[in-house]
Chains A and B, each alone.
Chain A
Amino acid sequence: MIAGTARLPDHPERLWPNPEPKRSYDVVIVGAGGHGLATAYHLAKEQGVRDVAVLEKGWLAGGNMARNTTIIRSNYLWDESARIYEHALELWEGLEEDLGYPILFSQRGVLNLAHSLQDVREGVRRVNANRLNGVDAEWLDPAGVKEVCPIIDVSADVRHPVLGATFQPRAGIAKHDYVAWGYARAAAATGVDLIQDCEVTGFLRDGDRITGVRTARGDIAAGRVGLAAAGHTSVLADTLGLRLPLQSHPLQALVSELLEPVHPTVVMSNAVHVYVSQAHKGELVLGAGIDSYNGYGQRGSFHVIERQMAAALELFPVFAGAHVLRTWAGVVDVSPDASPILGRTPFTGLYVNCGWGTGGFKATPAVGRCFAHTIAHDEPHPLNAPFGLERFFTGALVDEHGAAAVAH
C-alpha cells in the first residue's frame, strides 16, 4: 500500500539507463521478466556479483510479467512448495521498503472455492497442511464465504454451488509493472546492465561448459548463464540439445471496464476455471485455464474465455452488466508435476529457472533470492533444492496439481 503517495511512479524510461551491451559479463541472465530482474537484483545485493547483464528480446517485463493476473498466495499443499512460496510472501510483505518503490501490494486475501465433496475434502486437507507449515489458512462454510465476498452467489441451486472455500487472509495482489520497474531500477542502481531488444539465439560453449550467449546484437561472453525466459525456455534449450520436461501453452486473461469497488478479495475456482479480483483502478481482472494445445502464439481460444465468463457470471451475478475491455494471452511453460524447475543443468555454468507455468508471479522475490544463490554458488539454495531437474529421474516429484495447476 502506498500510504500517503498521491502520485504515480516515474515513467520507466527515466528509471534506468539503456546501455550498450559489453562483450563480456560475469553473469548473463536471459529474460527481463520479474524473475530475471529479481535474480539480477539479488546477485548484486546478496551475492556481491555486480558484473551482470539481463538480456531481453523485447521490452523490459513485456512477457508474462505484463500479462498475468497478479495473484499472490502461499497456500500450496506440499512442504517443499509451502516453504518457497511462503518465503516469497514474506519478502512481498517487505518489498516496497526493500526496493524503495511503490508496488501496491494489497493483502486482501484469497478464497479458493470448493464445488464438490472432493473439492471440500481437498480444501480442508490443504488448510491443515498449510497450518502445519505456518501458512495462514482457514476453512470457510458458504456463509463465511459470503461474509468475505458479499457479491458471490452461494445459493444451492446453481450449476456449481459453493460448498465452502479455503481462505488465506495474507494473500493478495500487487501492481505487476511497478514490481518489475522497482526491481529494474534497484538492479540498475547497483551497476547491472539491463539490455532490451537483444534476443538470445544460442550459446557459446567449450565442450559441456557454457561460455556465453549468441544474441541479435553479437556474441557476449559470460562466466555463468541463467535462463529466466519463462515459456520460451524449451526454444533455447533445444539449441543445446538439452531436453526439458516442459510444454508451452497459451494462457489468457481479460479485464472489464472500470467499476466502482465491488469485489473486496481474490476469488479462485479450479473446478470452473475462473479467478477474479478487482484491480486498484477498478477493472475486474479475470483469468481462465490454459488452452489444451501447445502454443507460442500469445493468443488463446475464444471458447476458453466464453466458458470462463459463464462461470464468472454464475458465481457473480452482478457482473452481468460489465463490458470486456481487453483480452490477451501469455505463453506459460507447464511441467509434469505442476511445480517449477530451478537449478543446475547438465551443462557447467548453465542454470534454469522455468516451469512456473500459470503461477510464477507470486514467487518472484523468492526466485530472485534462490536463483541468484544457485548461480553464485553453483549449488541450489535449500529452498529450491527439491525443484531440480533430477526429480524427473529419481521420482521425487512435487505434485502440486491440486493446489497449482491452472489456478494461480
Chain B
Amino acid sequence: MMLIPCPYCGPREETEFHYGGQAHVAHPADPAALSDTEWGHYLFFRANPKGRFAERWRHSVGCGRWFNAIRDTATHELVRVYEMGEPEPVIE
C-alpha cells in the first residue's frame, strides 16, 4: 500500500485514489490532420518506463481533485507531486 501525498490534503492511503496513467499527453491540436499512424499513437501508446514516470492521480474519496506525480515504477517511491497544468518538473 502506497502513502500518496495529495497536494491539497496531505498524505493519504492509496485506496483513496484513482490512477489516471501517463501525465502530459496533449490532445492533438488539429485532430483532422492526423494520419492513422499518428492517431494510433495518440490513442494507444503510452510511456511504460521502469523508473521515474510522470503520471496522474485523483484523490477520489478525498478532495476529488486531479494532480500529477513523479513516481518510480520500480521502487514505488513518490518523488514529487504537483498540480495539473504545471510543466513536468526536472529532477536532478
Contacts and interface: CB of A to CB of B under 8 A. Distances in A.
Interface string A271-307: 0000000000000000000001111110001110000
B53 interface: yes
A297 B75 contact: yes
A59 interface: no
Contact of B2 (A244, A248, A296, A301): A301
A152 B15 CA distance: 29
B75 A393 contact: no
A294 B36 contact: no
Interface stretch (B24-32, B38-46, B79-87): B38-46
A333 B46 CA distance: 12
B73 A243 contact: no
B49 A303 contact: no
What is the interface residue range for chain B against chain A?
20 to 34
B41 to A, nearest CB: 7
Contacts, number: 62
Contacts of B41: 243
Contact of B55 (A246, A293, A301, A303): A293
Given A293-B55, A301-B2, A234 B73 contact: no
A54 B82 CA distance: 44
A247 B45 contact: no
B50 A336 contact: no
B76 A297 contact: yes
Contacts of B37: 393
Interface of B: 1-2, 14-15, 18-19, 21, 36-37, 39-41, 43-46, 48-50, 53, 55, 71, 73-76
Interface of A: 232, 234-235, 238, 243-248, 292-297, 301-303, 333, 336, 392-395
